[in-house]
């Protein structure tokens, strides 16, 4: 594959996350699609392929995605070559981008629109709780014991604290750092509320040792990304685009009881492959956007990706190393814990933030100066896989 044929990002769109019951699901998808396409300097008829990231709030809305309603809503019926869904939970965005890049590189697609929307924040709470105590948890063995997603998060949290010697205050500091970032993000769910370690530790214990402020809040949200070839980006007169320099993955388990080490997960194996392909390492990264539905998932990810020494990530968060003004900007949109957990879209929002930063479009308050390289990581289900994309900004 020539450099001219490789798939690159040229546009990104996002709607504010939070609770927006009056924002219709399909309306969110259309609005964020138009925003992303305009940001790319294209028009909607320029899109020939749509890759959809699933929603979890409604089987009916999910069916609409599968059966190409978005194509019709965008006026692309008879024009689009293909519209289909990719699904691997919180790592879906990583796998979708691999699909998009492959379609572009082989000439099967010219301009690909990746879309995600979720209504978790407005969906019936009881139904979402039922869903989150079933999906990804073995029905034969673990579900009868009462295991739920918060319980899985608590297991990982407890194991990481034991393995690293991190204190409860260290772990709470991860949430505080992400809140500092979200306050710089106008699209974040928690853009107007401060958070302290004391507040985190004083909040209700949800599943020992997890406190309420250490659990992600379900949110509505929408993200769109536009990809094309590097050659086409140049022909469009773009002065900058973002490429995938390296990619790696590891599926470490299905049942959380079969994970060899809850403090490690699959991050290290995934990162080795990605760094080898990119030809650069963690010391070369200008920022990181790593899945963070719970503090320990982010801490273990930072260590497995080589962005923090083994066992030190939580203490580095406590020291301010990953906060605004720190050594390495991490989850600059506020992450799932403060920007809002938009289901499968939580990883998509982090990826979009990495692209936005490397395009230089993050705005005056949180733009990382001179950002050229970003480490992005997603994890699906009960953290059963770890997926890594290494992004590079390219100037024409």
Q: How many CB atoms sit inside 10 A of residue 20's CB?
A: 17
Query: How high is the pLDDT of residue 365?
Result: 94
Measured in whole angstroms, how far is the alpha carbon of residue 115 from the centre of its chain?
A: 13
Q: Band of the pLDDT at 137, cuts 50, 70, 90?
A: confident
CA distances, 350 to each of 3, 244, 288, 332 (Å): 26, 15, 9, 8
CA distances, 393 to each of 171, 319, 322 (Å): 32, 29, 21
Tell me the C-alpha distance between 151 and 209, whole Å.
10
Q: Band of the pLDDT at 191, cuts 50, 70, 90?
A: very high
Residue 59's Cβ-side half-sphere holds a number of Cα atoms within 13 Å equal to 2
pLDDT tens digits for range 362-377:
999 999 999 999 999 9
Query: How high is the pLDDT of residue 204?
Result: 97
Task: Indicate whether 42 pLDDT > 80.
Answer: yes
pLDDT tens digits for range 278-337:
999 999 999 999 999 999 999 999 999 999 999 999 999 999 999 999 999 999 999 999
* Residue 57 contacts residue 100 (beta carbons within 8 Å): no
Tell me the C-alpha distance between 115 and 36, whole Å.
9
Query: How high is the pLDDT of residue 176?
Result: 98
Tokens found for residue 312: 């030190």
Contacts of 123 (CB under 8 A, 6+ apart): 57, 58, 218
Tell me the C-alpha distance between 372 and 91, whole Å.
23
Tell me the C-alpha distance between 137 and 140, whole Å.
9
Q: Residues 41-68: what's their mean pLDDT?
A: 96
Residue bearing tokens 């929307």: 117
pTM of the model: 0.97
pLDDT tens digits for range 164-178:
999 999 999 999 999
Tokens found for residue 174: 């991860």
Arithmetic mean of pLDDT over the chain: 96
Query: How high is the pLDDT of residue 360?
Result: 98
pLDDT tens digits for range 209-256:
999 999 999 999 999 999 999 999 999 999 999 999 999 999 999 999
Query: How high is the pLDDT of residue 347?
Result: 96
The overall longest dimension of the chain from CA atoms, in Å, is: 59
Q: Residues 131-156: what's their mean pLDDT?
A: 87
Query: How high is the pLDDT of residue 139?
Result: 86
Q: Band of the pLDDT at 126, cuts 50, 70, 90?
A: confident
Q: In this prediction, what percent of the chain has a pLDDT beyond 70?
A: 100
């Amino acid at each position: 594959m020539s450099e001219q044929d490789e798939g690159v990002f040229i546009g990104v769109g996002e709607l504010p996350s939070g609770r927006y019951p009056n924002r219709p699901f399909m309306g969110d998808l259309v609005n964020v699609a138009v925003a992303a396409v305009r940001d790319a300097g294209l028009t909607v008829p320029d899109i020939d392929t749509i890759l959809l990231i699933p929603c979890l709030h409604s089987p009916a809305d999910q069916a609409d995605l599968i059966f190409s309603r978005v194509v019709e809503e965008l006026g692309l019926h008879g024009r689009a070559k293909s519209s289909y869904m990719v699904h691997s939970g919180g790592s879906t965005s990583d796998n979708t981008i691999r699909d998009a890049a492959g379609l572009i590189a082989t000439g099967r697609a010219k301009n690909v629109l990746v879309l995600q929307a979720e209504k978790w924040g407005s969906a019936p709470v009881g139904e979402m709780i039922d869903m989150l105590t079933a999906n990804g948890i073995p029905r034969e063995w673990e579900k009868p014991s009462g295991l739920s997603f918060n319980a899985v998060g608590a297991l990982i949290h407890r194991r990481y604290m034991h393995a690293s010697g991190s204190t409860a205050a260290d772990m709470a500091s991860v949430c505080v750092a992400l809140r500092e970032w979200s306050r710089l993000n106008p699209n974040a769910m928690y853009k107007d509320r401060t958070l302290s370690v004391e507040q985190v530790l004083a909040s209700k214990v949800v599943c020992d040792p997890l406190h309420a402020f250490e659990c992600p809040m379900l949110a509505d949200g929408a993200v769109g990304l536009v990809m094309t070839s590097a050659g086409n980006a140049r022909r469009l007169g773009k002065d900058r685009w973002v490429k995938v320099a390296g990619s790696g993955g590891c599926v470490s388990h299905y049942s959380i009881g079969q994970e060899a080490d809850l403090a490690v997960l699959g991050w290290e194996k995934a990162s080795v492959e990605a760094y080898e392909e990119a030809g650069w390492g963690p010391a070369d990264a200008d920022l990181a956007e790593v899945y963070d539905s719970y503090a320990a998932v982010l801490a273990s990810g930072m260590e497995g990706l080589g962005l923090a020494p083994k066992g030190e990530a939580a203490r580095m968060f406590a020291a301010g190393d990953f906060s605004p003004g720190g050594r390495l900007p991490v989850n600059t949109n506020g992450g799932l814990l403060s920007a809002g957990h938009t289901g499968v879209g939580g990883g998509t929002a982090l990826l979009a933030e990495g692209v936005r930063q490397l395009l230089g479009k993050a705005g005056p308050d949180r733009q990382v100066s001179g950002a050229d390289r970003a480490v992005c990581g997603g994890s699906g289900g009960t953290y059963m896989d770890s997926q890594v994309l290494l992004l590079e900004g390219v100037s024409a």
